[in-house]
Amino acid sequence: PGKGLKSKTGECGKSFAQWSKLERHRRSHTGERPNACGECGKRFAQRSHLAQHLRTHTGERPYKCGECGKAFGWSSNLAQHRRTHTGERPYACGECGKAFSQSTNLVKHQRAHAGERPYACGQCRKAFYRSSDLLQHQASHSGERPYRCGQCGKAFAQRANLLKHGKTHGGEKPYRCGECGKGFVQSSELIQHQRSHSGEKPFACGECGKRFGHGATLAKHRRLHLGLQPHRCAECGRAFGLRSALARHQRAHGEERPFACAECGQAFALRSNLALHRRTHAGERPYRCGECGKSFGMSSTLVRHQRIHTG
At 6 the pLDDT is 52
Question: What is the pLDDT averaged over residues 215-233?
Answer: 75
Question: What is the pLDDT averaged over residues 21-25?
Answer: 80
Q: Which of 33, 23, 34, 32 is CA-nearest to residue 8?
A: 23
Mean pLDDT lowest among 42-56, 100-114, 213-227 = 213-227
Contact 233, 239 (CB under 8 A): yes
Mean pLDDT lowest among 10-19, 91-100, 123-132, 210-219 = 10-19
Instruction: Evaluate if residue 216 carries a pLDDT over 70.
Output: yes
Q: Which of 125, 124, 83, 127 is CA-nearest to residue 106?
A: 83
Question: What is the pLDDT averaged over residues 214-229?
Answer: 75
At 1 the pLDDT is 46
Residue 221, Cβ neighbours under 10 Å: how many?
19
Q: Which of 75, 119, 129, 84 is CA-nearest to residue 102?
A: 84
What end-to-end distance do the CA atoms of the chain give, in Å? 94
Classify residue 122 by its DSSP letter: T
Instruction: Evaluate if residue 26 carries a pLDDT over 60.
Output: yes
% residues pLDDT > 90 (the chain): 0
Mean pLDDT lowest among 130-144, 185-199, 224-238, 285-299 = 224-238
Q: What is the pTM of this model?
A: 0.32
At 105 the pLDDT is 83
| Mean of per-residue pLDDT scores for the chain | 79
Highest mean pLDDT out of 70-84, 215-229, 238-252, 265-279? 70-84
CA distance 15 to 22: 8
At 2 the pLDDT is 45
